[in-house]
């Protein structure tokens, strides 16, 4: 992505999961879920526009140019896992296509979109199901489109010949488009006959519009103009607000939604800003090099500006506050950007039916022998496969390999980053940290604990210097004793000289994992179990150890929640427990989870979780609840989870989770990733004897 030419920026339209995508010259369409790794989406060709539906992030629109076919729309309804052509009635478009969605239009399947045909604007009113011509011929190829934020009836379009057109009926009829290039009021400036590269409309006044021009002056001065009208149709006045901008092409423009006198332009030498409506402009770089900027876009909250460059990656800058010069973090899940409290229990906008949780730390990965090649950088690390650690007995003499990735999102390097990693048997709610953990950090504690260091001989590792936006990957050898559970969880704690972790043994909450991990970017938990369905015989039952801890000082009744996630149809999941006490006894278990004596002599009860699943009307989750299991203070409830996968799609990966809840608070959980083996095709050579 770093050396690619980025053609557009699209981002999630609601606050929460903030992921970004863009079309790439010669290299299709890419997207990031918040980290520094960008994934290629299955479109290919030359990518241009990228749009995420404002109401449903699983719906994505893109554009593809291939040999002889320019700027055709594509659509995904599964978070970008697959795309299909969405160009019924659409002619050939422009090479770098323009695609715009009206965010105020009805939701899918009735979204209104506009796209650039070869010489006119095309419109869809059924979420790109079909297209029809909206505008007359524009006198050149369409190069920019904008829908007024305050009125869907007003649509602007610009061409590569410098014409600017306006529709007053939402682009419904060609007769309601008017060329407004020539000002009708005295003193109106003359617009240059160069390509219009960007259009932004005033956030509250649909009759005030800003347009940007590419190219050089060459006798037609100006690169940024402001147009105003009293009726939006017959009276127009244009004002050259280029002011002190250098004579260089302007390729992109963005406007502040609450202070419209603040605008930004992306030029061939970086980004410039005005805060006085264009009277004066100043460079707006703060580390951004003097490179060609092809697109600008604000995030959903309007407090972060993003810039797509030609050959120098994508950049972003916070607008509302000064960014930290050093900002180290480890990620809680795939959507974590290291900026705030972990997003947890929310829908994964990149995978239908999946939810993400704060214990899915993606910066910790385990590899059992034989090892794969150590990942050299963040991209390979994020794409590497995570496996369960194995217990190191005579059959597995080689230790596990543990990889930890550490980030610094600040603009300045940080020094002496200490990375400490510890483990415990797989649990939902986890045991408290040792009572002297913070007073001895980063060295090994002395108090009794259910936690253990990954390598007692190496209590922590140090990164001498961690550069900005350049993750560092550390490796440990991890010998798991034969007395450990069938799988384990990993907790990572980091601290640097300039950005230290700050907790105290004097505060009891600073020992509780559910208080620390989701709320401190220096701490991340990886609590995930891999279930390889190939190793489970048909109808087989393989119990997986899972502990539930009460880290509090008083006895508590905990609810156990089963989140069915994306398990394939026919899957069965059970929880095996010893004799346990509940608030009202199991006969009063009103949520419908069947309970029976365990078929295993080791356990007393079997809760058939998958047979008690109901749909939550609020968030659509499929869950089952075992209410009010009593765990004494500081004690552990040992259980086993049995997963019998149904018939899944060959090569697919499915997920479910088991959570531990105290009242309304989720105090922990374990995610199970079920991998279905790929379909094997056996080819034999025929022998005729």
Q: What is the CATH number of the domain that holds 152?
A: 2.130.10.10
Q: Summarize the confidence of residues 269-293 as an average pLDDT.
A: 92
Give residues with Cβ within 8 angstroms of 627, minimum separation 6.
557, 559, 582, 583, 584, 589, 591
Encode pLDDT of 210-224 as tens digits: 999 999 987 778 999
Residue 410: pLDDT band by 50, 70, 90 thresholds?
confident
Tell me if 70 is assigned to some domain. no
pLDDT at 646 over 90: no
Tell me if 681 is assigned to some domain. no
Give the percent of the chain with pLDDT over 70.
95
3-state secondary structure of 32: strand
Residue 588: predicted pLDDT: 47
Strands 84-85 and 69-76: antiparallel
pLDDT at 440 over 80: yes
* Domain end marker among 261, 294, 318: 318
More confident residue, 313 or 261: 261
Tell me if 151 is assigned to some domain. yes
Instruction: Judge whether 51 and 101 are in contact, CB under 8 Å.
Output: yes
Residue 596: predicted pLDDT: 92
Claim to verify: residue 451 and residue 590 sit in the same structural domain: no
Distances (CA, A) of 370 to 367, 379, 391, 401, 562: 8, 21, 14, 10, 34
Claim to verify: residue 312 and residue 393 sit in the same structural domain: no
pLDDT at 589 over 60: no
Cα–Cα distance between 373 and 106 in angstroms, integer? 49
Claim to verify: residue 152 and residue 235 sit in the same structural domain: yes
Claim to verify: residue 103 and residue 180 sit in the same structural domain: yes
Tell me if 257 is assigned to some domain. yes
Residue 681: pLDDT band by 50, 70, 90 thresholds?
low
Flag the least confident range among 12-16, 50-54, 493-497: 12-16
Flag the least confident range among 383-387, 413-417, 489-493, 672-676: 383-387
Claim to verify: residue 465 and residue 383 sit in the same structural domain: yes
Instruction: Judge whether 131 and 90 are in contact, CB under 8 Å.
Output: yes
Residue 540: predicted pLDDT: 65
Residue 679: predicted pLDDT: 73
Q: Summarize the confidence of residues 108-119 as an average pLDDT.
A: 96
Encode pLDDT of 516-525 as tens digits: 999 999 999 9
Residue 80: which of 42, 35, 129 has the closest Cα?
42
More confident residue, 159 or 36: 159
Could you identify the residue written with the tokens 């994505």?
Answer: 60
| Structural domains of the chain, count | 3
Give the percent of the chain with pLDDT over 90.
67
Residue 590: predicted pLDDT: 47
Residue 649: pLDDT band by 50, 70, 90 thresholds?
confident
For 74, the token pair is 């594509």
* Domain end marker among 273, 288, 318: 318
3-state secondary structure of 390: coil
Claim to verify: residue 226 and residue 284 sit in the same structural domain: yes
Q: Summarize the confidence of residues 77-92 as an average pLDDT.
A: 93
pLDDT at 535 over 70: no
Tell me if 629 is assigned to some domain. yes
For 462, the token pair is 């140090």
Cα–Cα distance between 229 and 207 in angstroms, integer? 6
Tell me if 69 is assigned to some domain. no
Cα–Cα distance between 570 and 567 in angstroms, integer? 8
Strands 528-532 and 665-675: parallel
Cα–Cα distance between 273 and 281 in angstroms, integer? 5
Q: CATH number of the domain that 655 lies in? A: 2.60.40
Residue 125: predicted pLDDT: 98
Residue 485: predicted pLDDT: 85
Diameter over CA atoms, the chain: 96
Residue 37: predicted pLDDT: 82
Phi, psi of 511 (to 5 degrees): -110, -5
Tell me if 434 is assigned to some domain. yes
pLDDT at 419 over 90: yes
Q: CATH number of the domain that 436 lies in? A: 2.60.40.10
Cα–Cα distance between 145 and 62 in angstroms, integer? 16
- DSSP secondary structure code for residue 687 in this structure: -
pLDDT at 683 over 80: no
- DSSP secondary structure code for residue 311 in this structure: S
Residue 687: pLDDT band by 50, 70, 90 thresholds?
low
Claim to verify: residue 247 and residue 142 sit in the same structural domain: yes
Residue 539: pLDDT band by 50, 70, 90 thresholds?
low
For 384, the token pair is 């590497």
CB count within 10 Å of CB 139 equals 14
Distances (CA, A) of 130 to 83, 91, 113, 122: 16, 11, 10, 10
Flag the least confident range among 187-191, 294-298, 345-349, 684-688: 684-688
Residue 153: which of 204, 202, 104 has the closest Cα?
104
Residue 534: pLDDT band by 50, 70, 90 thresholds?
confident
Residue 25: predicted pLDDT: 84
* Domain end marker among 279, 300, 318: 318
Claim to verify: residue 312 and residue 351 sit in the same structural domain: no
Residue 115: pLDDT band by 50, 70, 90 thresholds?
very high
Instruction: Judge whether 354 and 347 are in contact, CB under 8 Å.
Output: yes
Question: In whole numbers, what is the pLDDT of the chain averaged over residues?
Answer: 90
Distances (CA, A) of 305 to 101, 262, 288: 20, 12, 12
- In terms of residue numbers, what domain contains 266? 87-318
Claim to verify: residue 354 and residue 243 sit in the same structural domain: no
Claim to verify: residue 258 and residue 118 sit in the same structural domain: yes
Claim to verify: residue 453 and residue 308 sit in the same structural domain: no
Tell me if 45 is assigned to some domain. no
Claim to verify: residue 108 and residue 237 sit in the same structural domain: yes
């Amino acid at each position: 992505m770093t050396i690619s030419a980025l053609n557009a920026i699209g981002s999630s339209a609601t606050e929460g999961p903030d992921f970004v995508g863009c079309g790439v010259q010669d290299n299709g369409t890419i997207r990031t879920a918040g980290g520094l790794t960008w994934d290629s989406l299955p479109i290919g060709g030359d990518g241009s526009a990228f749009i995420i539906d404002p109401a449903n992030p699983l719906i994505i629109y893109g554009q593809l140019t291939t040999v002889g076919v320019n700027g055709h729309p594509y659509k995904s309804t599964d978070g970008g896992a697959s795309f299909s052509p969405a160009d019924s009635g659409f002619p050939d478009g422009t090479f770098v296509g323009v695609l715009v969605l009206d965010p105020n239009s009805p939701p899918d399947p009735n979204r209104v979109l506009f796209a650039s045909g070869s010489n006119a604007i095309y419109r869809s009113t059924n979420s790109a199901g079909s297209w029809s011509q909206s505008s007359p011929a524009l006198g050149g190829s369409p190069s920019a489109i904008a829908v007024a934020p305050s009125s869907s009836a007003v649509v602007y379009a610009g061409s590569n010949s410098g014409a600017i057109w306006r529709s007053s009926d939402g682009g419904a009829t060609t007769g309601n488009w008017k060329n407004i290039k020539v000002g009708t009021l005295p003193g109106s400036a003359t617009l240059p006959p160069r390509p219009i590269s960007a259009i932004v409309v005033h956030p509250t006044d649909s009759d005030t519009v800003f347009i940007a021009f590419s190219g050089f002056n060459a006798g037609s001065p100006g690169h940024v103009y402001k147009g105003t009208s009293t009726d939006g149709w017959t009276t127009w006045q244009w004002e050259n607000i280029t002011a002190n901008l250098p004579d260089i092409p302007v390729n992109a423009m963005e406007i502040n939604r609450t202070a419209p006198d603040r605008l930004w332009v992306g030029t061939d030498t970086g980004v410039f800003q005005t805060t006085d409506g264009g009277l004066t402009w100043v460079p707006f770089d703060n580390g951004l090099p003097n490179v060609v900027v092809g697109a600008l876009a604000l995030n959903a909250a309007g407090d972060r500006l993003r810039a797509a460059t030609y050959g120098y990656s994508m950049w972003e800058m916070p607008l509302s506050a000064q960014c930290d010069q050093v900002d180290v973090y480890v990620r809680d899940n795939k959507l974590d950007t290291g900026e705030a409290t972990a997003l947890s229990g929310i829908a994964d906008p990149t995978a239908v039916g999946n939810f993400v949780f704060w214990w899915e730390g993606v910066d910790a990965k385990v590899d059992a022998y034989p090892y794969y090649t150590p990942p050299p950088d963040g991209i390979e690390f994020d794409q590497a496969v995570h496996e369960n650690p194995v217990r190191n007995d005579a059959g597995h003499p080689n230790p596990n390999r543990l990889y930890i990735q550490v980030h610094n999102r600040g603009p300045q390097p940080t020094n002496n980053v200490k990375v400490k990693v510890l483990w415990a048997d797989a649990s939902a709610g986890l045991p408290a940290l040792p009572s002297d953990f913070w007073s001895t950090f980063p060295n090994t504690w002395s108090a009794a604990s259910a936690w253990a260091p990954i390598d007692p001989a190496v209590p922590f590792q140090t990164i001498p210097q961690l550069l900005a936006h350049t993750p560092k990957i550390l490796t440990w050898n991890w010998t798991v004793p034969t007395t450990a559970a069938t799988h384990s969880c990993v907790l990572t704690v980091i601290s640097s000289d300039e950005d230290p972790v700050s907790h105290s043994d004097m505060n009891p909450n600073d020992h509780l994992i559910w208080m620390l991990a989701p709320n401190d970017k220096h701490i991340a938990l990886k609590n995930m179990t891999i279930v390889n369905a190939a190793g489970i015989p048909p109808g087989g039952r393989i119990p997986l150890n899972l502990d539930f801890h009460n880290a509090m000082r008083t006895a508590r009744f905990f609810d156990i929640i089963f989140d069915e996630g994306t398990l394939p149809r026919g899957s069965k999941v059970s929880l095996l427990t010893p004799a346990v006490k509940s608030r009202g006894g199991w006969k009063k278990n009103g949520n419908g989870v069947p309970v029976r004596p365990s078929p295993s002599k080791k356990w007393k009860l079997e809760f058939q979780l998958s047979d008690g699943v109901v749909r939550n009307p609020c968030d659509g989750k499929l869950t089952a609840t075992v209410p009010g299991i009593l765990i004494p203070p500081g004690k552990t409830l040992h259980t086993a989870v049995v997963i019998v996968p149904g018939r899944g799609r060959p090569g697919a990966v499915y997920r479910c989770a088991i959570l531990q809840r105290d009242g309304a608070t989720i105090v922990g959980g374990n995610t199970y990733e079920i991998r279905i083996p790929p379909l094997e095709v056996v080819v034999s050579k025929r022998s005729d004897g």
